[in-house]
Amino acid sequence: MTLVGRIVSRRLLSMGKQRRVSTRPTVLFALLLSASNAIAASPQIEGQWRQGELLRGHVEPGSQVRFKGQRVNVGGDGLFIIGLDRDEPAKVELEVVEPSGSAHTSTHAVATRQYKIQRIDGLPQDKVNAPPELSARIEREAALVRKARFRDTPRTDFLQGFIWPCTGRISGVYGSQRILNGESKQPHYGVDVAAPTGTPVKAPAGGVVTLAEPDLYYTGGTLIIDHGHGLASAFLHLSKLRAKVGDVVEQGQVVASSGATGRATGPHLDWRISWLDARIDPQRLVPAMPSTSSKKESKKAKP
């Protein structure tokens, strides 16, 4: 039996307990219409409700969508996206308000992930925390990054899919975290690709460059691309920037060169993706890393 049929059956049974139900076609049609409207209020979601995932949804054009109470950008065709953070809670709510004013709230269970946790003790203090005299600079740079990636434009470059910005050995994964001298540090929100300094970095999808800084304290050469609807890519530890703020770039266009700038232990590319304030796993948006053609290059680049 279809979902609509089950809903109608339940309603008929409920009504039958109160009074004899007429089975005239007009009554059945009204029940079917009511059940279909109830289903239509539910958004169509593509993707997994799992930490680090990006979901694509569709609602009736003109509808409003809120995720965990936050307004979500909905395109003219009803398209919207949702990003699930590394530490997304076990249950989240999605609210849809249709143009008619009727509202529908759904609760979704989010699958958790296990992350790689590394403990390192006995380190010099300057390897654990930045010097206090640099705090003003670090805060100023963090504000620049937040402003650049926290954009919610109507662009839909993300619809073309994503490619690897460069290829090589994966040397760091999303969600991993280090505990240094007993102090939990910020999780790693990207994927590291070991690549020799100067390796071309390509735009994984089209968009607009919103940040191009050659020397940030933690991330060194840093570039951010807005892909639309709050989705942005960040590239860290770059040796050279080949695009500037305001540039419209296409998928596959070289926008930078990899390096070891900032707080890096070796040449590599750190690629991160965010949806507003949620951090997404980049590896969930691309195919498996192709095998590198040169083992020599992989050995030269060890972050």
Residue 18 has pLDDT above 50, yes or no: no
Answer with the residue of higher pLDDT: 291 or 139. Answer: 139
- Structure confidence at residue 19 (pLDDT): 44
User: What is the 3 state secondary structure string of the chain?
Assistant: CCHHHHHHHHHHHHHHHHCCCCCCHHHHHHHHHHHHHHHHCCCEEECCCECCCEEEEECCCCCEEEECCEEECCCCCCEEEEECCCCCCCEEEEEEECCCCCEEEEEEECECCCCCEEEECCCCHHHCCCCHHHHHHHHHHHHHHHHHHCCCCCCCHHHHCCCCCCCCEEEECCCCEEEECCEECCCCCEEEEECCCCCEEECCCCEEEEEEEEEECCCEEEEEEEEECCEEEEEEEECEECCCCCCEECCCCEEEECECCCCCCCCEEEEEEEECCEEECHHHCCCCCCCCCCHHHHHHCCC
Residue 9 has pLDDT above 90, yes or no: no
Band (pLDDT 50/70/90 cuts) for residue 34 is very low
What does pLDDT average to over the chain? 85
- Structure confidence at residue 131 (pLDDT): 86
Structure tokens at 223: 């570039």
pLDDT tens digits for range 87-138: 999 999 999 999 999 999 999 999 999 999 888 777 676 666 788 899 999 9
Answer with the residue of higher pLDDT: 35 or 73. Answer: 73
- Structure confidence at residue 29 (pLDDT): 42
- Structure confidence at residue 121 (pLDDT): 76
Residue 106 CB neighbours (<10 A): 13
pLDDT tens digits for range 232-287: 999 999 999 999 999 999 999 999 999 999 988 899 999 999 999 999 999 999 99
Residues 166, 286: contact at Cβ < 8 Å?
no
Give the pLDDT mean for 204-222.
97
Band (pLDDT 50/70/90 cuts) for residue 85 is very high
Residue 200 CB neighbours (<10 A): 15
- Structure confidence at residue 273 (pLDDT): 98
Residue 210 has pLDDT above 80, yes or no: yes
Residues contacting residue 172 through CB under 8 Å, at least 6 positions apart: 188, 190, 191, 192, 268, 270, 303
* pTM (two decimals): 0.82
